Amino acid sequence: MAPVGRARAGVILKHLIPEEDIIPGVSYWLNSTCSECPAGCGVKVRLREGNAVKIEGNENHPVNHGGLCARGQSALQALYSPARIQTPLRRNAGGRMDPTGWKDAFDLIARSTSASGSSEKVVVVTSQVTGAMRAMLERFAAGSPKFNFFVCEPLDYAPVAAANKLCFGLEAVPTYSFDKARTIVSFGADFLETWLSPVSNAHGYAISRNPTNGAMSRMIQFESYMSLTGANADERYCCPPGVETLVALSIASRMLSGTALPASEWETWRSALRPFTIERAAKAAGVPPQVLEQVADRLRSQTPSLALAGGPSSHSTCATALQVAVNLINFSAGGYGKTLTFDRAEHAPVGTYSQLLDLVEDMEAGRVSTLIVHECNPLFAFPEPERLKTAMKRAPLKIQLASVRDSASESYDIVLPALHWLERWDKVESRSGVYSLQQPVIKPWCDARHAGQALSDIMAVLPDHTTRMPEDYQQFLRERWENIPGDRSASEDSDDFWKQVLTDGGYWAPPVSRKVTLNARAAEAISDFAPMVSLSGEHVLLPVTTVRYGDGRQTGRPWLYEMPDPITLIVWDTPLLISLGTSKKWNCQSGDIVRLKCDKGFLEAPVYVQSGTHDAVVAVSLGAPSDKYASFYFEPANHPLHRLRGDIDKFSGALSWVGTPLTFEGVTGHNRLARLQGSGRQDGRGIAQTIATTEVGKLGKASRRPATLEFDLYPKHEHPVHDWGMVIDLSVCIGCGACAVACYAENNVHVVGKNECLRGREQSWLRIERFIDKGRTVFLPALCQQCEHAPCETVCPVYAAVHSSEGLDVQVYNRCVGTRYCANNCPYKVRRFNWFTYKVDPPLEKQFNPDVFVRTRGIMEKCTFCIQRIREHKEIAKDEKRRLRDGEVVPACAQSCPTGAIRFGDLKDPASQVSKQMDDPRGYAILAELNTQPSILYLKRVYHADGTVTETL
């Protein structure tokens, strides 16, 4: 019934609410820390009747400040995944995997290892681990030269750390404060999607975008494919992949003149940067030289400014040079200490590709006796999977330790089930000094063990490894929590301290101030190089990471399949993205399957023509939908990382993602892509509106629920107590889709599959639409507008669509007979019809929100403004004999939003935040001329009039 784990917990590891106080039918929230990517956002998990039904961001957490991305929210579908590994598995003589017990598995491990020689290595390959797990692995490694661990992350940030080591002597990734920046220049970094800590970045970015104080930040993006970040940029310049380095170096070169450096160092930099002139970079990037000059001048004059580099196309053989250039720019602009600091280092170091190659060589030479792979898939990230597979076969014992089956699970001898991060205690330190708590929120439903415990148990049965074990990981973890370095509050009163940790979701140690001085020796990383791609018509492959599947590990999650990619608006598939020019050259259209030849075989997948893609680029997102719920899934014919040449950046040892040439071989078929938005054109209807910064001050007062007719046949609705309304600020909506997934999770929205989506039968209550207005991309969350004069209500023959006294258009499910008149009459197209009774594979249904009816065939449904949450908080207020407070009721979409674009509240209360925002001069209602009088007011997106424009989606 209740969250558990405390039976085995000792003095300190216990929950805030004792189990006997848990009441069925009442919601509880427990704090934990997301492990879906290394960013480590704080989360809180809603529990009902012992099931985890919703994940939300923790408002107290210094990383994400309450928002949570789509991938983080989808963790529940991994927790209850049908592909969870439920018992230990072992390979039988026939090569099949048989279920076995933990004891048998350990016996087998002990037997297999005793046969092998004692000089061979034990290697743990793991996904990013921080805090206690890392401390344990480091302790293992320090105790034995034969033990090694390797952190395998496809997005490794090794060039950033390498450049900082060269420049400042600090092998670390800084934290970036977008909130303080007035100028943001990004060389390919998709910082609103996957780069480093996307929710944290988006939160800061939104603060910097405040249009009211006249100092809205300007974001400038150089990139070679259309990323979500690029779509949000004020100035976006499309350049060939790898040319970002040239551009950054030329800007650094121009900014060098005014930099406060000792004369000798200044000279070193100047000679290193001499070949990188603005003219040369501008020619390679295909932009006028004035643009680059202006960017450089802005970085210096519009301070504080922030330059950053990352993203797929920065993974080149010059990756470190690019990062050094960025460091130089930030140093020249005086950004260190303001917009980026090393006070808290981000992203603990991970293994690089060259280290992985060493490991593979070790395996090939038979120097590895035992390979333990924890929650990662080296076969996914390694460009030569066949070589790695053969090398792995040389290791006598290969063990996988994972919670969910992945695409490589078949290649191990033993597969051990690990607890999902929502089922275990742990201590995570994604930023130095930010100690985040993980606590078990549900009773484990598989015969799984804590990965730390399982690792230490494996170590215990290996020969020569028996002495240094923390036998009990729980005990080890407790010590880690009790002994937080440099802080005494933990030891003084551990009970109070622990209570605080449970309430806050962790403990945030004060940051340690670290000043930096630039070292001119870093100039050695800058060497002259040719641009990655010549503009003569050759194509290169560019693996990209997206909001949907991240680095590939989040495959197997139905919500993410049905979430449209914010750029292509395609669900399920991940096509090859090409430019219009390329499609003309190849004579193919969106959906055509093309065959592309590269050094290492072929790539065969449907293409999608995406504007903003460079003519020389074929961009492919990592990850693909898998019907078997496997994580790290990809279609073998379409896995971009397996087609890479394996070039290395010599300064950081990172794998280059750029530079694999592709040759077009022909169109081989067609695959209809399910794209959920027909067109980005607005045909003058003013759905998504924008306004220049200079015009904002000239606007008059907005009117809420503007009525366009003087005479009305219907009586006016009275709102005696509450009148719910919403304001959506398009200026800070970045289109990440977190709200859409939050809505799926909160409201038991069905996932219907690609074929149904192709028929226009998707069920999403909230969708992100993408429009172009005055050449600016606008992301627009489209949901039921809860019209005061609702077209749906007047046509319902059975009175199933009715207006509530609180201003909501409610849908009475059991009254609905499915005429679909309402959906046809809805101008916003937000009503969804259940054509079938959609089933989910067990145990995914455990995630269902018990406060929301699971709709069956023949019922119309739509956004309810999360009426169950309104009800819940009204009940709480009633119990406490008070009125509802402003901001108490937060719908799922508004809660998850990393940027705070969605505000919800009571319009009846003139002091409520939403009431005040309703008077914002930027406000407008969509299709107001139809006299629908919506309860949602959109605030126009503010743009810089001198930014770049785009004509097509």
Partner 1 sequence: MKTIAIYVVIVAWFAAVVVAVAAFGLMQEPSMRPKQPIEYPHHTHVQDVGMQCLDCHRYAEKSIYATIPGTDICMGCHESVATDKPEIIKLTEAYRSGKPVGWVRVYQVKPHVYFSHKRHVLSGMKCQECHGPVEQMTTVQRVTDLGMGWCVKCHRTRGAPRECDTCHK
Type of residue numbered 376? C
Backbone angles phi, psi at 72, to 5 degrees: -60, -40
Q: Compare residues 400 and 748 and give the one whose CB is closer to partner 1.
A: 748
Residue 98 is inside which H or E element, if any? Answer: strand 97-99
H/E run at residue 102: helix 102-115
Ordered DSSP codes for 734-779 = ----HHHHHHHHHTTPPP--HHHHHTT----SSEEEEEEETTEEEE
* DSSP, res 346: E
Nearer to partner 1, 16 or 802 (CB): 802
**Residue 358 is encoded by which pair of tokens?**
């060493």
Q: Is 805 in the site for partner 1 (CB under 8 A)?
A: yes
Beta carbons of 653 and 355 less than 8 angstroms apart: yes
Q: At what angle do helices 473-482 and 494-504 cross, to 10 degrees?
A: 100
Instruction: Please state the closest distance from residue 804 (CB atom) to partner 1, in A.
Output: 5
Rule CB under 8 A: is residue 852 a binding residue for partner 1?
yes
Q: Which helix (H) or strand (E) holds 420?
A: none
535 near partner 1, judged by CB under 8 A: no
711 burial type by CB count under 10 A (0-12 exposed, 13-18 middle, 19+ buried): exposed
Contact 73, 64 (CB under 8 A): no
Does residue number 867 form part of the binding site for partner 1 (CB under 8 A)?
A: yes
User: Segment 324-383, which members bind partner 1 (CB under 8 A)?
Assistant: none
> Which residue is it, tokens 């991940």?
574
Q: Which is nearer to partner 1, 53 or 381 (CB)?
A: 53
Give the distance, in angstroms, between the CA of residue 845 and the centroid of all CA atoms in the same chain.
24
Among residues 611, 575, 615, 619, the alpha carbon closest in space to that of 593 is found at 575
Piece of the chain touching partner 1 by CB under 8 A; list 270-278, 313-321, 709-717, 852-860: 852-860
813 is a site residue for partner 1 (CB under 8 A): yes
Range in contact with partner 1 (rule: CB under 8 A) among 450-458, 546-554, 799-807, 889-897: 799-807
Contact 547, 69 (CB under 8 A): yes
| CA distances, 187 to each of 190, 295, 610 (Å) | 9, 12, 20
Least separation in angstroms between residue 422's CB and partner 1 is: 24
- Asked whether position 814 contacts partner 1 by CB under 8 A, the answer is yes
Beta pairing, strands 801-803 & 809-811: antiparallel
Identity at 861, one-letter amino acid code? E
Q: H or E element: which one contains 426? A: strand 426-431
b/e per residue, 738-761, with b = 16+ CB within 10 A?
bbbbbbbbbbbbbbbbbebbbeeb
Nearer to partner 1, 23 or 512 (CB): 23
Q: Rounded to the nearest whole angstrom, what is the least distance from the CB of residue 880 to partner 1 in the complex?
A: 12
User: How many CB atoms are located within 10 Å of the residue 434 CB?
Assistant: 24
Rounded to a whole number of angstroms, the minimum distance from the CB of residue 115 to partner 1 is 42
Which range touches partner 1 (CB under 8 A), out of 23-31, 106-114, 681-689, 921-929? 23-31
Closest by CA to 306, choosing from 190, 177, 211, is: 177
| Secondary structure of residue 733 in the 3-state scheme | coil
Identify any residues that bridge with 760 across adjacent strands, giving them in sequence order. Answer: none
CB closer to partner 1 out of 7 and 260: 7
Binding partner 1 (rule: CB under 8 A), the pick from 386, 471, 875, 929 is: 875
C-alpha–C-alpha distance, residues 87 and 416, integer Å: 7
> With CB under 8 A as the contact rule, which of the stretches 533-541, 710-718, 866-874, 933-941 interacts with partner 1?
866-874
- Phi and psi at 788, nearest 5°, equal -75, -25
Task: Count the helices and strands in the chain (H runs, E runs).
Answer: 28, 37
Under the binding rule (CB under 8 A), the answer on residue 857 touching partner 1 is no
CB of 13 to partner 1, least distance (A): 25
Which one, 25 or 684, has the nearer CB to partner 1?
A: 25
| Residues in Cβ contact with 514 at an 8 Å cutoff, skipping those fewer than 6 apart | 170, 341, 342, 343
43 touches partner 1 (CB under 8 A)? no
Q: Which is nearer to partner 1, 699 or 812 (CB)?
A: 812
Per CB under 8 A, 808 contacts partner 1: yes
Judged by CB under 8 A, the residue of 102, 266, 445, 853 near partner 1 is 853
In the list 8, 10, 26, 679, the residue contacting partner 1 (rule: CB under 8 A) is: 26
> Residue 843: is the preceding peptide bond cis (ω within 30°)?
yes
Stretch that binds partner 1, among 441-449, 476-484, 523-531, 809-817 (CB under 8 A): 809-817
Q: What's the one-letter identity of residue 874? A: K
**Which of 520, 580, 795, 854 lies at the binding interface for partner 1 (CB under 8 A)?**
854
Task: By CB under 8 A, name the one of 9, 460, 667, 810 that touches partner 1.
Answer: 810
Stretch that binds partner 1, among 17-25, 685-693, 772-780, 789-797 (CB under 8 A): 17-25
Q: Which of 868, 896, 932, 933 is in the footprint of partner 1 by CB under 8 A?
A: 868
**Near partner 1 by CB under 8 A: residue from 23, 142, 215, 949:** 23
The residue among 4 and 802 lying less far from partner 1, judged by its C-beta, is 802
Q: Which phi and psi (to 5°) does residue 667 adopt?
A: -90, 130
How many residues of this chain interact with partner 1, rule: CB under 8 A? 23
Stretch that binds partner 1, among 10-18, 102-110, 489-497, 868-876 (CB under 8 A): 868-876
* Crossing angle of the two packed helices 473-482 and 451-461, in degrees rounded to 10: 120
Based on CB atoms, which residue is closest to partner 1, 702 or 726?
726
Closest separation in Å from C-beta 718 to partner 1: 12
**Euclidean distance between CA atoms 568 and 551, whole angstroms:** 18
**Largest Cα span, the chain:** 91
Paired tokens of 561: 């399949």
**Smallest distance, partner 1 to C-beta of residue 906, A:** 16
Which of 215, 512, 812, 949 binds partner 1 (CB under 8 A)? It is 812
Give the shortest CB-816-to-partner 1 separation in angstroms.
Answer: 10
Which is closer to partner 1, CB of 551 or CB of 806? Answer: 806
Q: Return the range that interacts with partner 1 (CB under 8 A); candidates 74-82, 93-101, 597-605, 797-805.
A: 797-805
Strands 340-346 and 28-33: unpaired
Going residue by residue from 752 to 791, which x/- string records binding to partner 1, judged by CB under 8 A?
A: ----------------------------------------
Q: Is 707 in the site for partner 1 (CB under 8 A)?
A: no
For the bound state, the minimum distance from the C-beta of residue 805 to partner 1, rounded and expressed in Å, comes to: 6
Q: In this complex, which beta carbon is closest to partner 1, that of residue 107 or of residue 875?
A: 875
Query: Which of 7, 24, 488, 910 touches partner 1 by CB under 8 A?
Result: 24
**Binding of partner 1 at residue 445 (CB under 8 A)?**
no
Angstrom distance (rounded) from CA 175 to CA 164: 13
Scanning 19-27, 351-359, 365-373, 685-693 for contacts with partner 1 by CB under 8 A, the matching segment is: 19-27
CA angle, 676 then 677 then 679, to 5°: 155
Binding residue (CB under 8 A) for partner 1 from 502, 580, 648, 802: 802
460 binds partner 1 (CB under 8 A): no
Task: Based on the shown chain and the rule CB under 8 A, indicate whether residue 851 belongs to the binding site for partner 1.
Answer: yes
Which letter, b or e, does each residue of 53-72 get, where b requires 16 or more Cβ atoms within 10 Å of its Cβ?
A: bbbbbbeebbbbbbbbbbbb
Among 7, 25, 258, 492, binds partner 1 (CB under 8 A): 25
Rounded Cα–Cα distance for residues 243 and 280 (Å): 11
Candidates 194-202, 290-298, 850-858, 910-918; binding stretch for partner 1 (CB under 8 A): 850-858
Name the minimum Å distance from CB 856 to partner 1.
9
Does 804 contact partner 1 by CB under 8 A?
yes
Q: Which residues bind partner 1 (CB under 8 A)?
A: 23-26, 802, 804-806, 808, 810, 812-814, 851-854, 867-868, 871, 875, 878-879
